[in-house]
Amino acid sequence: MHTAHNQAIGEATGKIILMGEHAVVYGEPSLAIPFPKATIQTTVTQSTGPVTVDCIYHKGLLSTAPEHLANLVTVVDVSLKALKQELKNFSLHIISSIPAERGMGSSAAVAVATVRALYNYFDEPLSHDQLLELVNVSEVIAHGNTSGLDAAMTSGETPLYYIKGQPFVPFSLSIDAYLVVGDTGVKGQTREAVGSIAALMKSNPKETSQDIHRLGELADKAKIAIEHNQPVELGKLMHQAHLILTKLGVSNEQLNHLVEAALNAGALGAKLTGGGRGGCMIALAENEAAAREIAHALSDTGTSNTWVYHLGGGSIE
């Protein structure tokens, strides 16, 4: 087969859940935003023979990739079938600044970047719908049922409001504030956090249901605060959400410690983001100087990495 290029690149970004994590499982709304500070780039290069991959987790034949790269193996497979191309004569090189298993969408982002790179390499046009379809197929094979939220977030530039089983609703990030993201350096224990809520649902259904519903209300109010440029209000809502998530057993000592450090450093609000019990936390700051101060406080308290992101006006370094 002739290929149009001897090398091609595909890119994807990370994502952050602002509000509604965990409650979204129970039919409550959630808010997610693209996070272009963390990116993944896949490069496809012409070679001879079996397909090889070079990434942080594996260097060698794609066919001998470890189990946790199942989604990569799968997405290459489904993409090549769609392209009617064979699994040979190219190599994959993946560079990522999205930490894995922190709720930032790294597995979907790898898939998005890889599909884009393969379509560029074989010089075939790729619609956004087709991209999402291929990524979601591979996500389902690799992770079981998926909402498609990560695929939509890591491939797009629009914040999304999401209720399970309903279409994504784009909303405008018209808030002039800064988001500081702090990585605990520890993989999130999503399954344990989900289990904690499920157990509380059994032992104390009434109160737990109220807490879950409250998280949904906070997400709805947060969307309004964002659309009306009310950072102080958003900060309060974020903090209230964190307290409920803590009560539900989704947080842990390290996350609470970082949230407290952010608040002490002047954050308008702070909370965990994503699966919980590890992973990342986020803090809201009114301006860049305040954001830098919070980032320093988080580093001093023990984050492995921090990012500062201007919500209303694209990213800053």
Q: How far apart are CA 104 and CA 56, in angstroms?
A: 17
Q: Is the pLDDT of residue 314 over 60?
A: no
Quick check: 96 and 110 in contact, CB under 8 A? yes
Residue 102: pLDDT band (50, 70, 90) is confident
pTM: 0.88
Q: How far apart are CA 304 and CA 314, in angstroms?
A: 24
Q: Is the pLDDT of residue 37 over 50?
A: yes
Per-residue pLDDT tens for 231-263? 999 999 999 999 999 999 999 999 999 999 999
Q: Which domains does the chain have, with CATH numbers?
A: 7-170 (3.30.230.10), 178-310 (3.30.70.890)
Residue 4: pLDDT band (50, 70, 90) is low
* pLDDT at position 142: 66
Which range among 84-93, 154-163, 232-241, 255-264 shows the weakest confidence by mean pLDDT? 154-163
Residue 203: pLDDT band (50, 70, 90) is very high
Q: Is the pLDDT of residue 1 over 70?
A: no
The length of the chain in residues reads 317
Average per-residue pLDDT for the chain: 92
User: What percent of the chain lies above the pLDDT cut of 70?
Assistant: 96
Q: How far apart are CA 89 and CA 65, in angstroms?
A: 17
Residue 143: pLDDT band (50, 70, 90) is low
* pLDDT at position 313: 62
Helix H or strand E encompassing 295? helix 288-301
